[in-house]
Amino acid sequence: MKIIIFGLGNFGTSLALKLTETGNEVIGIDHKMEKINLVKDKIAHTICMDATNELAYDAIPLKDTNIAVVAIGENEGAAIITTAILKKITKADIISRSLSPIHDTVLKAMGINRIVHPEQEAAEKLTSKINLKNVIDSFNIDKNYSISEIKINARMAGKTLQELSFRQHYNLNVVTILRDCEKTNLLGNKMQKKEVIGIPNNETKLQENDILIVFGNNNDITAFGVDLAE
């Protein structure tokens, strides 16, 4: 996909690099040349411009853009103006970063449905990692449901999902499992890495150090994490 990111602070830069790594064509835009210089050799294109100036948008290939991300985090006013300009001149899908509850309200009033809160989401993930040590990572689908990576404990190893009555007991769906696998690299050295085993079924037997990828309600995921820690 072709993606334009407005604002190359910590969040915008990290997003640009990750999207580039996953095969997307990314254009990074910022009004500070020093931020442009940090990523200009790492993503497809960079443009130094004031995103609050509508006339400057003539230099941007918005017609061919799939997604425009407003990642500005230093200036709420600039973020709102940039979003408003994009809403006016492009049909690309707009994802906008919100900096406050009022910012949320303004974006929703503008018809922006994809709103992100990177600091809040990062804090929630860290809280889960601190409180639930078996929860490795989590991705929120919405405010109630998530997909989480959860490492099993010793008492689950050697048992099948059916023996654990997993779906009935935890009210979670196991999407897949990450499992330790020994590989040999180009130098002939053996190394451990995680591999996806595919779609598990009731007869799938869990092994030590397995990581379950589960989908479900956040409360059920939390309850599962607490149960594993006991």
CATH of the domain at 176: 3.30.70.1450
Taking CA atoms, 219 is separated from 100, 129, 130, 171, 224, in Å, by 26, 15, 16, 10, 9
Q: Looking at residue 22, which CATH number applies to its domain?
A: 3.40.50.720
74 and 152 inside one domain: no
Q: Do 94 and 158 fall within a single domain? A: no
Is residue 71 within 8 A of residue 119, CB to CB? The reply is: no
Residue indicated by tokens 């948008």: 57
The model's pTM: 0.63
* Residue 67, both tokens: 């997604």
Give pLDDT, residue 129: 67
Q: Which of 62, 95, 116 is the last residue of a domain?
A: 116
Tell me, yes or no, whether 84 and 172 share the same domain: no
Q: Are residues 109 and 85 in the same domain?
A: yes
Instruction: Tell me: do 87 and 175 sit in the same domain.
Output: no
Nearest to 138 by CA among 35, 72, 214: 214
Residue tagged 């150090």 (tokens): 209
Which pLDDT value is given to residue 222? 87
Decide which of 116, 147, 163 is a domain's last residue.
116
Is 64 found in the same domain as 126?
no
Q: Are residues 107 and 134 in the same domain?
A: no
Sheet holding 211-217: strands in order across? Answer: 135-140, 145-151, 211-217, 173-184, 190-196
**What residues make up the domain containing 182?**
121-229
Last residue of one domain, picked from the residues 116, 150, 174: 116
Number of domains in the chain: 2
**pLDDT for position 218:** 87
Q: Give me the tens of pLDDT residue by residue for the chain, a chain 230 residues long.
A: 899 999 999 999 999 999 998 889 999 999 999 999 999 999 999 999 999 999 999 989 898 899 999 999 989 999 999 999 999 999 999 999 999 999 999 999 999 999 998 888 777 777 766 666 787 887 878 878 989 999 999 999 999 999 999 999 999 999 999 998 877 666 667 777 788 989 999 999 999 999 999 999 988 998 888 888 76
Phi, psi of 6 (to 5 degrees): -100, 115
Check whether residue 125 and residue 224 sit in a common domain: yes
Task: Please tell me whether residues 111 and 126 are part of one structural domain.
Answer: no
Distance CA 222, CA 80 (A): 35
Query: Is 102 in the same domain as 170?
Result: no
Domain match, 25 and 74 both: yes
Whose structure tokens read 């190359």? 8
Q: Are residues 35 and 111 in the same domain?
A: yes
174-207 pLDDT, tens digit each: 999 999 887 766 666 777 778 898 999 999 999 9
